[in-house]
Amino acid sequence: MGPGRPKTVVRISTPADVLGVVPHRVGFHPTESIVVICLHGPRRRDGLVMRLDLAPPAADDAVASDLATKAAHVKATAVLVVCYTEEPGDGSDLPRRALVDALLASLRERDIEVLDALLVHDGRWWSYHCTEPACCPPEGTPVPAQLTEAAAHFAAEAVVEGGVVLAGRDELAASIRPPRGPVLTAARAQALERAGRHVVDVVRTGGSQALRVETVDLLRALVRRWADGSRQLDVDEAARVVLGLGVKDARDEAATLLLEAQPDVLLALLTALARHADLPEAAPVCTVLAWVAYAHGHGALANVALERALAADPAYEMARLLQDGLLRMITPAAVRAVTRDVRRTLETPTGPPALRPAGPSRPREVS
Protein backbone atom coordinates (compact mmCIF):
# COMPACT_ATOMS: atom_id res chain seq x y z
CA MET A 1 0.00 0.00 0.00
CA GLY A 2 1.47 3.32 -1.00
CA PRO A 3 0.77 6.64 0.69
CA GLY A 4 -0.60 8.16 -2.48
CA ARG A 5 -0.91 8.02 -6.23
CA PRO A 6 0.55 10.34 -8.88
CA LYS A 7 -1.83 13.18 -9.63
CA THR A 8 -2.64 14.60 -13.03
CA VAL A 9 -2.44 18.35 -13.54
CA VAL A 10 -5.95 19.68 -14.24
CA ARG A 11 -6.25 23.11 -15.86
CA ILE A 12 -9.14 25.11 -14.40
CA SER A 13 -9.80 28.12 -16.59
CA THR A 14 -13.51 29.07 -16.74
CA PRO A 15 -16.06 30.10 -14.10
CA ALA A 16 -17.92 26.83 -14.79
CA ASP A 17 -14.69 24.92 -14.05
CA VAL A 18 -14.26 26.80 -10.78
CA LEU A 19 -17.84 26.23 -9.65
CA GLY A 20 -17.54 22.52 -10.42
CA VAL A 21 -14.33 22.17 -8.43
CA VAL A 22 -15.24 24.15 -5.28
CA PRO A 23 -17.51 21.49 -3.68
CA HIS A 24 -14.76 18.89 -4.11
CA ARG A 25 -12.21 21.16 -2.45
CA VAL A 26 -14.56 22.10 0.41
CA GLY A 27 -16.11 18.64 0.88
CA PHE A 28 -19.72 19.79 0.55
CA HIS A 29 -21.87 22.15 -1.47
CA PRO A 30 -21.41 25.58 0.13
CA THR A 31 -24.39 27.70 1.04
CA GLU A 32 -24.35 31.20 2.55
CA SER A 33 -20.57 31.11 2.34
CA ILE A 34 -17.57 33.06 1.13
CA VAL A 35 -14.87 30.86 -0.44
CA VAL A 36 -11.30 31.93 -1.25
CA ILE A 37 -9.08 29.65 -3.35
CA CYS A 38 -5.41 30.52 -2.90
CA LEU A 39 -3.16 30.15 -5.94
CA HIS A 40 0.62 30.07 -6.10
CA GLY A 41 3.32 30.94 -8.58
CA PRO A 42 3.25 31.65 -12.31
CA ARG A 43 1.34 28.42 -13.03
CA ARG A 44 -1.42 29.31 -10.52
CA ARG A 45 -1.16 26.07 -8.54
CA ASP A 46 -4.05 25.81 -6.12
CA GLY A 47 -3.36 25.61 -2.42
CA LEU A 48 -5.36 26.54 0.66
CA VAL A 49 -9.12 26.85 0.23
CA MET A 50 -10.89 28.93 2.88
CA ARG A 51 -14.64 28.83 3.47
CA LEU A 52 -16.51 30.93 6.01
CA ASP A 53 -20.20 31.24 6.80
CA LEU A 54 -21.44 34.64 5.70
CA ALA A 55 -21.43 36.99 8.67
CA PRO A 56 -23.71 40.01 9.13
CA PRO A 57 -22.73 42.96 6.91
CA ALA A 58 -21.41 44.87 9.92
CA ALA A 59 -18.53 42.36 10.02
CA ASP A 60 -17.58 42.72 6.34
CA ASP A 61 -14.35 44.66 6.96
CA ALA A 62 -13.16 42.27 9.68
CA VAL A 63 -13.95 39.18 7.59
CA ALA A 64 -12.22 40.67 4.55
CA SER A 65 -9.09 41.55 6.52
CA ASP A 66 -8.92 38.12 8.15
CA LEU A 67 -9.24 36.24 4.86
CA ALA A 68 -6.69 38.45 3.14
CA THR A 69 -4.25 38.09 6.03
CA LYS A 70 -4.51 34.30 5.87
CA ALA A 71 -4.02 34.30 2.09
CA ALA A 72 -0.88 36.39 2.56
CA HIS A 73 0.30 34.06 5.34
CA VAL A 74 0.31 31.07 2.96
CA LYS A 75 2.08 33.25 0.35
CA ALA A 76 -0.73 33.21 -2.18
CA THR A 77 0.11 35.18 -5.31
CA ALA A 78 -3.45 35.16 -6.63
CA VAL A 79 -6.92 34.06 -5.54
CA LEU A 80 -10.34 33.13 -6.85
CA VAL A 81 -13.31 34.27 -4.76
CA VAL A 82 -16.79 32.73 -4.79
CA CYS A 83 -19.74 34.02 -2.74
CA TYR A 84 -22.72 31.70 -2.27
CA THR A 85 -25.89 33.35 -1.01
CA GLU A 86 -29.63 33.44 -1.45
CA GLU A 87 -29.82 36.91 0.09
CA PRO A 88 -31.52 39.39 -2.24
CA GLY A 89 -29.59 42.22 -3.83
CA ASP A 90 -30.64 45.83 -3.39
CA GLY A 91 -32.17 45.95 -6.86
CA SER A 92 -29.26 47.79 -8.44
CA ASP A 93 -26.34 45.59 -7.45
CA LEU A 94 -25.36 42.02 -6.67
CA PRO A 95 -25.88 40.57 -3.17
CA ARG A 96 -22.95 40.95 -0.74
CA ARG A 97 -21.13 43.37 -3.02
CA ALA A 98 -19.79 45.30 -0.01
CA LEU A 99 -18.16 42.18 1.47
CA VAL A 100 -16.57 41.20 -1.84
CA ASP A 101 -15.33 44.75 -2.51
CA ALA A 102 -13.78 44.91 0.97
CA LEU A 103 -12.12 41.54 0.44
CA LEU A 104 -10.73 42.49 -2.96
CA ALA A 105 -9.35 45.74 -1.55
CA SER A 106 -7.69 43.89 1.35
CA LEU A 107 -6.15 41.34 -1.03
CA ARG A 108 -4.78 44.00 -3.35
CA GLU A 109 -3.25 45.86 -0.41
CA ARG A 110 -1.21 42.70 0.12
CA ASP A 111 -0.23 42.46 -3.57
CA ILE A 112 -2.44 39.41 -4.13
CA GLU A 113 -4.06 39.35 -7.54
CA VAL A 114 -7.78 38.56 -7.78
CA LEU A 115 -8.39 36.52 -10.92
CA ASP A 116 -12.16 36.58 -10.56
CA ALA A 117 -14.88 37.01 -7.97
CA LEU A 118 -18.08 35.08 -8.60
CA LEU A 119 -21.56 35.13 -7.09
CA VAL A 120 -23.71 31.98 -7.01
CA HIS A 121 -27.36 32.84 -6.38
CA ASP A 122 -30.65 31.12 -7.22
CA GLY A 123 -29.05 28.56 -9.54
CA ARG A 124 -27.13 31.16 -11.54
CA TRP A 125 -23.72 32.79 -11.39
CA TRP A 126 -22.44 36.32 -11.96
CA SER A 127 -19.01 37.94 -11.89
CA TYR A 128 -18.42 40.85 -9.54
CA HIS A 129 -15.57 41.79 -11.92
CA CYS A 130 -17.00 41.52 -15.40
CA THR A 131 -19.94 43.44 -16.86
CA GLU A 132 -19.51 42.42 -20.50
CA PRO A 133 -22.91 41.09 -21.66
CA ALA A 134 -21.24 38.71 -24.11
CA CYS A 135 -19.66 36.61 -21.33
CA CYS A 136 -21.39 37.83 -18.14
CA PRO A 137 -24.98 38.78 -18.96
CA PRO A 138 -26.78 40.96 -16.39
CA GLU A 139 -29.37 38.22 -15.78
CA GLY A 140 -26.60 35.82 -14.84
CA THR A 141 -25.59 32.45 -16.30
CA PRO A 142 -27.14 29.14 -15.20
CA VAL A 143 -24.83 27.03 -13.06
CA PRO A 144 -24.03 24.01 -15.28
CA ALA A 145 -26.06 20.92 -14.51
CA GLN A 146 -23.10 18.75 -15.50
CA LEU A 147 -19.44 19.16 -14.59
CA THR A 148 -17.18 20.58 -17.25
CA GLU A 149 -14.49 18.26 -18.58
CA ALA A 150 -11.83 19.89 -16.39
CA ALA A 151 -14.03 19.82 -13.27
CA ALA A 152 -15.00 16.20 -13.91
CA HIS A 153 -11.32 15.27 -14.19
CA PHE A 154 -10.60 17.06 -10.91
CA ALA A 155 -13.57 15.33 -9.26
CA ALA A 156 -12.33 11.93 -10.41
CA GLU A 157 -8.90 12.60 -8.91
CA ALA A 158 -10.56 13.69 -5.65
CA VAL A 159 -12.68 10.52 -5.46
CA VAL A 160 -9.57 8.36 -5.94
CA GLU A 161 -8.06 10.15 -2.92
CA GLY A 162 -11.16 9.42 -0.82
CA GLY A 163 -12.93 12.74 -1.32
CA VAL A 164 -16.71 12.95 -1.18
CA VAL A 165 -19.12 15.82 -1.68
CA LEU A 166 -21.97 16.04 0.79
CA ALA A 167 -25.03 18.25 0.76
CA GLY A 168 -23.72 20.60 3.44
CA ARG A 169 -21.53 20.98 6.49
CA ASP A 170 -24.16 19.47 8.79
CA GLU A 171 -24.18 16.31 6.68
CA LEU A 172 -20.37 16.18 6.83
CA ALA A 173 -20.46 16.43 10.63
CA ALA A 174 -23.17 13.74 10.79
CA SER A 175 -21.03 11.41 8.67
CA ILE A 176 -18.59 10.89 11.58
CA ARG A 177 -21.18 10.55 14.35
CA PRO A 178 -22.56 7.19 15.53
CA PRO A 179 -25.94 6.18 14.15
CA ARG A 180 -28.66 6.50 16.77
CA GLY A 181 -31.29 4.06 17.94
CA PRO A 182 -31.70 2.01 21.11
CA VAL A 183 -30.41 -1.24 19.57
CA LEU A 184 -27.32 0.30 17.97
CA THR A 185 -26.51 2.37 21.06
CA ALA A 186 -26.84 -0.68 23.31
CA ALA A 187 -24.65 -2.77 20.98
CA ARG A 188 -21.89 -0.17 21.10
CA ALA A 189 -22.14 0.12 24.88
CA GLN A 190 -21.91 -3.66 25.32
CA ALA A 191 -18.93 -3.87 22.95
CA LEU A 192 -17.23 -1.06 24.84
CA GLU A 193 -17.76 -2.91 28.11
CA ARG A 194 -16.22 -6.09 26.67
CA ALA A 195 -13.33 -4.10 25.22
CA GLY A 196 -12.78 -2.40 28.57
CA ARG A 197 -12.37 -5.74 30.32
CA HIS A 198 -9.98 -6.87 27.61
CA VAL A 199 -7.90 -3.69 27.91
CA VAL A 200 -7.58 -4.17 31.68
CA ASP A 201 -6.37 -7.75 31.15
CA VAL A 202 -3.81 -6.70 28.52
CA VAL A 203 -2.41 -3.89 30.67
CA ARG A 204 -2.34 -6.09 33.76
CA THR A 205 -0.33 -8.81 32.04
CA GLY A 206 1.82 -6.84 29.57
CA GLY A 207 1.61 -3.18 30.48
CA SER A 208 0.75 -0.26 28.28
CA GLN A 209 3.37 -1.29 25.71
CA ALA A 210 1.42 -4.48 25.07
CA LEU A 211 -1.79 -2.50 24.61
CA ARG A 212 -0.06 -0.11 22.23
CA VAL A 213 1.28 -2.97 20.10
CA GLU A 214 -2.04 -4.81 20.06
CA THR A 215 -4.02 -1.69 19.14
CA VAL A 216 -1.74 -0.66 16.27
CA ASP A 217 -1.45 -4.23 15.00
CA LEU A 218 -5.25 -4.51 14.92
CA LEU A 219 -5.54 -1.15 13.16
CA ARG A 220 -2.96 -2.20 10.55
CA ALA A 221 -4.83 -5.47 10.00
CA LEU A 222 -8.04 -3.51 9.45
CA VAL A 223 -6.28 -1.22 6.96
CA ARG A 224 -5.08 -4.26 4.99
CA ARG A 225 -8.56 -5.77 5.06
CA TRP A 226 -10.16 -2.57 3.82
CA ALA A 227 -7.50 -2.11 1.15
CA ASP A 228 -8.35 -5.62 -0.11
CA GLY A 229 -11.97 -4.55 -0.51
CA SER A 230 -13.59 -6.19 2.52
CA ARG A 231 -14.79 -3.09 4.34
CA GLN A 232 -16.35 -4.81 7.31
CA LEU A 233 -15.85 -3.55 10.85
CA ASP A 234 -16.88 -5.78 13.74
CA VAL A 235 -18.29 -3.86 16.70
CA ASP A 236 -15.82 -5.53 19.09
CA GLU A 237 -12.83 -4.74 16.85
CA ALA A 238 -13.95 -1.14 16.67
CA ALA A 239 -14.36 -0.87 20.44
CA ARG A 240 -10.86 -2.29 21.05
CA VAL A 241 -9.28 0.23 18.69
CA VAL A 242 -11.30 3.14 20.12
CA LEU A 243 -10.23 2.32 23.68
CA GLY A 244 -6.68 1.37 22.71
CA LEU A 245 -6.12 4.78 21.14
CA GLY A 246 -6.55 6.21 24.62
CA VAL A 247 -2.89 5.27 25.11
CA LYS A 248 -1.04 8.29 23.79
CA ASP A 249 1.74 6.36 22.06
CA ALA A 250 -0.81 4.08 20.35
CA ARG A 251 -2.70 7.15 19.16
CA ASP A 252 0.50 8.80 17.90
CA GLU A 253 1.57 5.66 16.04
CA ALA A 254 -1.92 5.34 14.55
CA ALA A 255 -1.60 8.86 13.17
CA THR A 256 1.65 7.89 11.42
CA LEU A 257 -0.18 5.27 9.35
CA LEU A 258 -0.86 8.12 6.91
CA LEU A 259 2.76 7.62 5.79
CA GLU A 260 2.08 4.10 4.53
CA ALA A 261 -1.65 3.61 3.89
CA GLN A 262 -3.71 4.65 0.90
CA PRO A 263 -5.46 7.90 1.89
CA ASP A 264 -8.93 6.80 0.80
CA VAL A 265 -8.65 3.53 2.72
CA LEU A 266 -7.31 5.06 5.93
CA LEU A 267 -9.81 7.93 5.94
CA ALA A 268 -12.73 5.58 5.30
CA LEU A 269 -11.63 3.27 8.12
CA LEU A 270 -11.08 6.10 10.62
CA THR A 271 -14.47 7.55 9.72
CA ALA A 272 -16.08 4.18 10.38
CA LEU A 273 -14.23 3.92 13.72
CA ALA A 274 -15.43 7.41 14.68
CA ARG A 275 -18.99 6.25 14.00
CA HIS A 276 -18.44 3.46 16.54
CA ALA A 277 -17.21 5.88 19.23
CA ASP A 278 -19.72 7.42 21.58
CA LEU A 279 -18.79 10.25 23.92
CA PRO A 280 -16.55 10.54 25.89
CA GLU A 281 -14.34 7.88 24.24
CA ALA A 282 -14.43 9.65 20.85
CA ALA A 283 -11.62 12.17 21.44
CA PRO A 284 -8.59 10.02 20.44
CA VAL A 285 -10.04 8.44 17.29
CA CYS A 286 -11.60 11.71 16.09
CA THR A 287 -8.29 13.51 16.64
CA VAL A 288 -6.44 10.88 14.59
CA LEU A 289 -9.09 11.25 11.89
CA ALA A 290 -8.62 15.04 11.93
CA TRP A 291 -4.83 14.68 11.73
CA VAL A 292 -4.92 12.29 8.77
CA ALA A 293 -7.65 14.27 7.00
CA TYR A 294 -5.76 17.55 7.25
CA ALA A 295 -2.46 15.94 6.20
CA HIS A 296 -4.20 14.89 3.00
CA GLY A 297 -5.82 18.27 2.38
CA HIS A 298 -9.34 17.52 3.65
CA GLY A 299 -9.70 20.62 5.81
CA ALA A 300 -13.48 20.51 6.21
CA LEU A 301 -13.40 16.91 7.47
CA ALA A 302 -10.51 17.78 9.80
CA ASN A 303 -12.50 20.63 11.32
CA VAL A 304 -15.65 18.64 12.02
CA ALA A 305 -13.56 15.79 13.47
CA LEU A 306 -11.79 18.24 15.78
CA GLU A 307 -15.11 19.69 16.87
CA ARG A 308 -16.31 16.22 17.82
CA ALA A 309 -13.04 15.41 19.62
CA LEU A 310 -13.27 18.57 21.72
CA ALA A 311 -16.96 18.00 22.40
CA ALA A 312 -15.92 14.65 23.90
CA ASP A 313 -13.02 16.16 25.88
CA PRO A 314 -12.58 19.96 25.76
CA ALA A 315 -9.12 19.62 27.36
CA TYR A 316 -7.81 16.99 24.92
CA GLU A 317 -4.39 18.39 24.14
CA MET A 318 -3.60 16.89 20.76
CA ALA A 319 -6.95 18.12 19.41
CA ARG A 320 -6.34 21.58 20.89
CA LEU A 321 -2.83 21.72 19.43
CA LEU A 322 -4.03 20.70 15.98
CA GLN A 323 -6.88 23.19 16.13
CA ASP A 324 -4.41 25.91 17.07
CA GLY A 325 -2.19 24.84 14.17
CA LEU A 326 -5.08 25.12 11.73
CA LEU A 327 -5.92 28.60 13.02
CA ARG A 328 -2.27 29.57 12.52
CA MET A 329 -2.49 28.24 8.95
CA ILE A 330 -0.10 25.33 9.36
CA THR A 331 0.12 23.54 6.01
CA PRO A 332 -0.72 19.88 5.31
CA ALA A 333 2.93 19.46 4.29
CA ALA A 334 4.01 20.63 7.75
CA VAL A 335 1.66 18.11 9.37
CA ARG A 336 3.17 15.33 7.26
CA ALA A 337 6.68 16.48 8.25
CA VAL A 338 5.76 16.34 11.95
CA THR A 339 4.27 12.89 11.35
CA ARG A 340 7.57 11.65 9.96
CA ASP A 341 9.36 13.03 13.04
CA VAL A 342 6.88 11.24 15.30
CA ARG A 343 7.41 7.97 13.42
CA ARG A 344 11.20 8.25 13.92
CA THR A 345 10.69 8.99 17.63
CA LEU A 346 8.41 6.00 18.09
CA GLU A 347 10.86 3.72 16.29
CA THR A 348 13.69 4.76 18.65
CA PRO A 349 12.00 5.14 22.04
CA THR A 350 13.97 6.21 25.09
CA GLY A 351 11.92 3.99 27.31
CA PRO A 352 8.63 2.11 27.50
CA PRO A 353 5.54 4.29 27.07
CA ALA A 354 3.41 4.78 30.13
CA LEU A 355 -0.35 4.39 30.25
CA ARG A 356 -1.50 7.92 31.00
CA PRO A 357 -4.24 10.28 29.93
CA ALA A 358 -3.75 11.23 26.26
CA GLY A 359 -3.62 14.96 26.62
CA PRO A 360 -2.29 16.72 29.70
CA SER A 361 1.41 16.09 29.10
CA ARG A 362 3.41 17.58 26.23
CA PRO A 363 6.35 15.13 25.80
CA ARG A 364 6.10 13.05 22.63
CA GLU A 365 2.70 14.51 21.88
CA VAL A 366 1.97 14.98 18.17
CA SER A 367 1.83 18.76 17.87
DSSP 138: T
Looking at the domain that runs over 15-173, which CATH code has it been given?
Answer: 3.40.140
Extract long-range pairs of 109-113: CB within 8 Å, 24+ residues apart.
Answer: 109/68, 110/68, 110/69, 110/71, 110/72, 112/68, 112/71, 112/72, 112/76, 112/77, 112/78, 112/79, 113/77, 113/78, 113/79
| Residue 313 confidence (pLDDT) | 96
**Lowest mean per-residue pLDDT among 225-234, 309-318, 347-356:** 347-356
**Which regions of the chain does DSSP assign to beta strands (E)?**
33-40, 45-53, 78-84, 113-121, 124-127, 141-142
**Chain segment 285-325, per-residue pLDDT in tens:** 999 999 999 998 788 889 999 999 999 999 999 999 999 98
pLDDT of 344 strictly over 70: yes
Q: How do strand 45-53 and strand 78-84 relate by DSSP bridges?
A: unpaired
DSSP 87-102: ----SSS-TTHHHHHH
DSSP 55: P
**Chain segment 89-101, per-residue pLDDT in tens:** 776 789 999 999 9
Could you tell me the residue ranges of all domains in the chain? 15-173, 175-347
Distances from the Cα of 320 to the Cαs of 116, 257, 307, 308, in angstroms? Answer: 35, 21, 10, 12
| Residue 165 confidence (pLDDT) | 62
